[in-house]
Structure 1
């Protein structure tokens, strides 16, 4: 069975420091025999101060990071799924973009977060991602990874089943859901939503998360998860600390579940009223 690694991070406002954490994790993966490393949303820069973040996002910083991560993947003979990093786009806004690196130094496969986190919580915490970021427009899968066909999504995407229906229709074996979840929404919805996404797609869900108190003042929920196609939680890294954990993915489990409850095969279009 392929072994993967999940990096739970407390990313801050220094991209070089965040990359050092990822590079150390990659070295541990090579030592432990893991074939792929998954990191959270905004692994390289987690900064709610958009004026300060702009100086890095709109510089050569992101492209330099891509080159450096490609080199790490090649050196450690490892596939690396960077949950996301902010990048500038031609449209004038930024994209919240996942990058999937292979060890061959080829350009990474990318996915831009489709659903923008525009919320106002009862606690007074408010976020408007769409003020700075533009939504992605494409469903993205990565073929022939160590965990089969991998579907890409990011954080708030998990609340929108249509995306996961599309990934299920593409017969994804695993779906990545890197996140930087708030504490109130995490306590209420994190485990429930991720188990539901795994069950309805009959696929593994791999959800590396940010955790703890960050340099920009926010607090995130943690509890990086791996969920199997039956909805069983195989790994929960808790909400107390960052760190690296390993998990084996039994791809045979997918066929077993789909044979018992062939929801993908039984799915039918809903009539329009």
Structure 2
């Protein structure tokens, strides 16, 4: 199977972000003919203020109901159906958390346009970056509680995570134990941390789990409450041996790689680390 990670430079205008996602996804599909495309974290909204986040949020239909959703939901479903491929919607902002809180939610649609997986980000980004910028995701968002895997193209088992989750190897081990072969990591990784940690963390998670990693990321500058912030980009696909086999550079665009299940099988056979684990 072929997987494409889309790299966006989204802002706080939801309609413009959907248009950008459509343009990039359709160009990537035409050029590379992937079986699965993945968008970045919160690709419908990055920056602005609390009102912008609330305006971008969507109430999701009951999973598996087939009912209509909001503009982003219907765009993802329509893209999957129109091009007969799996569409991983990175993550969008979901309304409906406890006490009016939001959720950072990944959605996966199959080639029929059916929602086949829904994952809510477990680990919330409450940190101070090396440049002194503070981030408090938990101020607006409610964390998820469940790991999610599902069957993707060609029977490849997919594991769902979002951005900051990558710093918690126990989640990735749980996904491997649940059968994951390819783990999706849509992200808005800060420039300050990304230049030092982005690639090394993703490669480490690939090596530890012997899974493919596909990480679609946002790139560039955006404004949040009038303050300029930067995200790192460098969307990539990594193989189970830890090699980066496709990567986007600066700017909007995409990267595509072929997921080789024979390589996954060989790596796991020759170094059966899951069987050798003793402490976890």
Q: Match of 2:188, SS? A: coil
| Consecutive aligned runs of 4 or more in structure 1 exceeding 3 Å deviation | 58-62
Contact 2:235–2:255 under 8 Å retained in 1: no
User: TM-score, normalised on structure 1?
Assistant: 0.92
Give the structure 2 partner of residue 3 of structure 1: 2
5+ residue gaps in structure 1? Answer: none
Instruction: Provide the C-alpha distance between the structure 1 equivalents of 2:245 and 2:115, rounded to a whole number of angstroms.
Output: 32
188, 191, 199: which one pairs with 2:207? 199
225, 230, 237: which one pairs with 1:226? 237
Give the structure 2 partner of residue 82 of structure 1: 89
Instruction: Provide the C-alpha distance between the structure 2 equivalents of 1:169 and 1:194, rounded to a whole number of angstroms.
Output: 18
Instruction: Provide the C-alpha distance between the structure 2 equivalents of 1:47 and 1:146, rounded to a whole number of angstroms.
Output: 37
User: TM-score, normalised on structure 2?
Assistant: 0.90
Contact 2:58–2:93 under 8 Å retained in 1: no
Deviates more, 1:51-60 or 1:241-250: 51-60
Give the structure 1 partner of residue 65 of structure 2: none
Pairwise CA distance, 1:52: 2.6
Give the structure 1 partner of residue 64 of structure 2: none
Q: Deviations over 1:218-247 (max 9, x none)?
A: 210011111100001111212x21112221
Give the structure 1 partner of residue 115 of structure 2: 107
Instruction: Provide the C-alpha distance between the structure 2 equivalents of 1:245 and 1:147, rounded to a whole number of angstroms.
Output: 22
Give the structure 1 partner of residue 270 of structure 2: 260
Deviates more, 1:57-66 or 1:208-217: 57-66
Deviates more, 1:167-176 or 1:43-52: 43-52
CA-based RMSD: 1.9
Give the structure 1 partner of residue 15 of structure 2: 16
Contact 2:8–2:219 under 8 Å retained in 1: yes
**1:46-61 alignment runs, 5 A limit:** 46-57=46-57
Pairwise CA distance, 1:121: 2.3
Instruction: Provide the C-alpha distance between the structure 1 equivalents of 2:77 and 2:200, rounded to a whole number of angstroms.
Output: 34
Instruction: Provide the C-alpha distance between the structure 2 equivalents of 1:75 and 1:122, rounded to a whole number of angstroms.
Output: 43
**Residues 1:97 and 2:105 aligned together:** yes
Q: Match of 1:138, SS? A: coil
5+ residue gaps in structure 2? Answer: 61-67
Pairwise CA distance, 1:16: 1.5
